[in-house]
């Protein structure tokens, strides 16, 4: 910049000198030629290296130094305190035994025997079970001059196998029951007639069952039942039931198809008691084939099952058949998680009635029954269930059901003109009467788990019946209720109790006049009754325990069926033992 200023100053002075010179002297005209103009430039800046490279032999080279550590051990006197984990009291796991035996004896010559054994093989994949139960009584009742003995003996064996994706099992069972038709009106018969009566009936049952369940397969499960049931007067019945189930997932929904083939057939060697003479053999043979497709819909708290039950019914003995279509719709909705769950449905079915089921409901039926299926057109119900608190559960339900040919029990008439092998025609047995019945019902129950050792429950049922014949719904109570309790008092002592109530029932007593064969009827109403039962036990150790059971504590000789009074107060004491077999 100084150089440029100098040049410009020089040029300016030269021009001023020329002007002054022209003013003073006229030196003439000259031409100035500029060979090259001045073009200044600026060099690029560069950084001086911090460690310049020197190429000088005089510079001394640095000597390499190796460092090492000289370790000297120092004795330490510090000793850390040992930690101690907090103790947690654990309940020792109970010892499991594979066998169990129990025996008890009581008044009325009552006896109880119970045995069970279970064996595992192949690391629990195979299971073999055996069971034997016996319950009997050989006591007499003051209300009747006839024998009142009964006993019930069952023997069962089963085998089950479980694999990773399926499990299956099979079982066989044998049963022998003995009952007596002891419910006669003693004042109507002479001592000789009573002494000539053979009132004992024996029932025998042999059955085989099988089941099969799979995973990750459209064929979900299957069940098979084969049964032979017969009695001491040559009545016999065969039952075969096959029930496979399939599941087909479609998008997010699940379609379930349940199929059924149900056959029951048999014969009674004796005809109806209402006839003047024995008509001879009565046969029955009913076949049902049905399918129930249903669609399962799951939406958050809502579950809906939409389906229909389609059944083909064939009366093979009378060559009659019919198709039935029933609703199969159920739904549930969680209103408040587990606290309030609303549920409901409309369902129907063709019930396969049979001699075996009738005997289990009423062992005093006569071997002269008519066996036909019940057409349950529909049963609609609505209810609420859930948890009031963490330990209080409840269930409330209202229902309405329409049934055609509903079986009802009432007394056979007294018909002394018969001379069958067994004495069930003295008004001391029951027949089945079919009526069309509509039933309105209300059900409620509450279960309370007070703590781990004490539980309590109560339930009640109320019914109103409307029959097509305008007769009462024979031997069906309008009210039923029960209370139960279980209490583990200490590790050794335990007890339980239950109380149930059955309301009034209507029955029909009748007699055939031997002179004109006319039926004389008398309707009776049986009183409602309470029955209280309790048991208490003491465990000496994990294997040995003793118990005492009391039944009908109030000692009320009530009538469960008309003219069939029960035993009074009953007490039974026994011992139980667990062991490995």
In whole angstroms, what is the distance from residue 555 CA to residue 558 CA?
9
| Dist. CA 277–CA 488, nearest whole Å | 60
- Whose CA is closest to 149, among 139, 159, 157, 158? 139
Interatomic CA distance for residues 213 and 236, integer angstroms: 32
Closest CA to 426 of 364, 355, 473: 364
pLDDT range class, residue 19, cuts 50, 70, 90: very low
- Mean pLDDT, the chain, rounded, equals 87
Nearest to 127 by CA among 154, 163, 165, 164: 163
Each as own residue / partner, the long-range contacts of residues 109-118 (CB below 8 Å, 24 or more positions apart, any chain) are 109/137, 109/138, 109/139, 110/136, 110/137, 110/139, 110/570, 110/572, 111/135, 111/136, 111/137, 112/572, 112/574, 117/581
The larger pLDDT score, comparing residue 62 to residue 323, is at 323
pLDDT digits (tens, 9 = 90+) for 513-543: 776 677 888 999 999 999 999 999 999 999 9
pTM: 0.82
Token readout for 408 is 């009802």
Using pLDDT thresholds of 50, 70 and 90, give the confidence band for residue 11. very low
Q: What is the pLDDT of residues 115-154, one digit of tens each?
A: 999 998 887 789 999 999 999 999 889 889 999 999 999 9
pLDDT tens-digit series, residues 562-580: 999 999 999 999 999 999 8
Residue 481 predicted with pLDDT over 90:
yes
- CA 204 to each of CA 87, 267, 385, 428: distance values in angstroms, whole numbers, following the listed order: 59, 15, 41, 21
What is 280-292 written as a DSSP string? Answer: --EEEEEEEEEEE
Give dist(CA 270, CA 174) in Å, integer. 26
Q: What's the rounded Cα separation, in Å, for the pair 228 and 263?
A: 12
- How far apart CA 398 and CA 55 sit, in angstroms, is 110
User: Which one is predicted more confidently, 451 or 503?
Assistant: 503
- Measured between alpha carbons, how far is residue 323 from residues 163, 203, 348 in Å? 40, 34, 13
How far apart CA 239 and CA 476 sit, in angstroms, is 27
Q: What is the pLDDT of residue 444?
A: 97
Please list, residue by residue across 357-396, b when 16 or more beta carbons sit within 10 angstroms of its beta carbon and e when fewer do. Answer: bbbeebbbbbbbbebbbbbbbebbbebbbbbeeeeebbbe
Which of 74 and 123 is assigned the larger pLDDT? 123
Find all residues with CB under 8 Å of 277, minimum gap 6, and list them. Answer: 417, 418
Q: Determine the Cα–Cα distance for residues 323 and 332; give it in Å rounded to an integer.
A: 30
Q: Which residues contact 234 (CB under 8 A, 6 or more apart)?
A: 269
Pair 273, 366: CB distance under 8 Å: yes
Phi/psi of residue 453, nearest 5 degrees: -105, -5
Most confident of 63-67, 247-251, 404-408, 518-522: 404-408
Q: Give the pLDDT confidence of 341-371 residue by residue, as tens digits.
A: 999 999 999 999 999 999 999 999 999 999 9
Question: 250-287: per-residue pLDDT in tens?
Answer: 877 889 999 999 999 999 998 888 876 777 789 999 99
pLDDT of 5 higher than 50: no
Say if residues 205 and 229 touch (Cβ distance below 8 Å).
yes
**pLDDT at position 289:** 97
Whether residue 408 is predicted with pLDDT greater than 70 in this model: the reply is: yes
Q: What is the pLDDT of residue 182?
A: 96
Residue 162: is its pLDDT beyond 80?
A: yes
Selection from 194, 144, 155, 196 nearest residue 177 by Cα: 155
What's the average model confidence in pLDDT over 10-39?
50
* Residue 35 pLDDT grade (very low, low, confident, very high; cuts 50, 70, 90): low
Residue 164 pLDDT greater than 90, yes or no: no
Model pLDDT, residue 108:
92
Torsion of CA 43, 48, 52, 53, to 10 degrees: -30
């Amino acid at each position: 910049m100084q150089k440029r200023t100098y040049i410009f100053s020089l040029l300016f002075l030269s021009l001023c000198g020329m002007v002054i010179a022209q003013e003073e002297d006229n030196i003439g005209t000259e031409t100035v030629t500029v060979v090259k103009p001045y073009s200044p430039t600026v060099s690029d800046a560069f950084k001086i290296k911090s460690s310049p490279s020197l190429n000088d032999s005089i510079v001394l080279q640095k000597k390499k130094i190796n460092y090492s550590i000289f370790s000297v051990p120092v004795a330490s006197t510090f000793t850390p305190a040992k930690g101690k984990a907090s103790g947690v009291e654990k309940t020792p796991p109970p010892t499991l035994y594979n066998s169990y035996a129990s025996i008890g004896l009581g008044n009325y010559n009552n006896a109880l025997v119970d045995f069970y054994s279970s064996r595992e093989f192949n690391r629990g994949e195979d299971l073999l079970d055996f069971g034997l139960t016996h319950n009997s009584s050989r006591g007499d009742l003051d209300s009747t001059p006839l024998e009142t003995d009964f006993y019930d003996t069952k023997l069962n064996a089963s085998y089950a196998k479980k694999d990773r994706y399926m499990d299956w099992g099979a079982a066989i069972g044998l049963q022998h029951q003995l009952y007596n038709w002891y419910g006669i009106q003693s004042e109507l018969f002479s001592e000789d007639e009573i002494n000539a009566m053979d009132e004992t009936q024996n029932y025998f049952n042999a059955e085989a069952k099988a089941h099969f369940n799979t995973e990750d397969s459209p064929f979900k499960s299957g069940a098979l039942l084969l049964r032979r049931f017969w009695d001491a007067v040559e009545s016999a019945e065969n039952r075969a039931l096959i029930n496979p189930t399939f599941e087909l997932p479609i998008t997010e929904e699940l379609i379930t198809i349940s199929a059924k083939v149900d056959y029951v057939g048999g014969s009674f060697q004796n005809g109806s008691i209402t006839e003047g003479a024995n008509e001879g053999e009565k046969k029955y043979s009913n076949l049902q084939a049905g399918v129930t497709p249903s669609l399962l819909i799951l939406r958050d708290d809502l579950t809906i099952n939409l389906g229909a039950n389609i059944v083909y019914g064939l009366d093979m003995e009378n060559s009659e058949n019919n198709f039935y279509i029933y609703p199969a719709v159920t739904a549930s909705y969680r209103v408040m998680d587990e606290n309030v769950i609303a549920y409901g449905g409309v369902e129907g079915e063709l019930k396969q009635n049979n001699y075996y089921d009738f005997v289990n409901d009423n062992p005093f039926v006569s071997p002269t029954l008519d066996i036909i299926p019940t057409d349950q057109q529909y049963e609609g119900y609505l209810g609420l269930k859930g948890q009031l608190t963490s330990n209080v559960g409840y269930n409330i339900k209202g229902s309405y059901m329409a049934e055609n040919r509903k079986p009802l029990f009432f007394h056979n008439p007294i018909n002394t003109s018969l001379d069958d092998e067994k004495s069930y025609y003295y008004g001391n047995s029951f027949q089945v009467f079919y009526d069309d019945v509509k039933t309105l019902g209300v059900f409620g129950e509450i279960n309370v788990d007070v703590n781990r050792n004490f539980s309590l429950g109560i339930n009640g049922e109320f019914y109103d019946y409307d029959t097509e014949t305008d007769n009462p719904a024979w031997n069906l109570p309008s009210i039923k209720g029960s209370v139960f309790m279980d209490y583990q008092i200490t590790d050794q002592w335990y007890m339980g109790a239950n109380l149930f109530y059955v309301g009034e029932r209507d029955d029909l007593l009748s007699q055939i006049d031997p002179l004109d064969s006319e039926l004389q009827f008398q309707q009776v109403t049986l009183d409602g009754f309470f029955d209280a039962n309790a048991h208490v036990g003491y465990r000496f150790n994990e294997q040995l325990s003793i118990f005492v059971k009391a039944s009908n504590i109030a000692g009320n000789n009530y009538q469960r069926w008309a003219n069939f009074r029960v035993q009074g107060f009953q007490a039974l004491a026994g011992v139980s033992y667990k062991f490995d077999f």
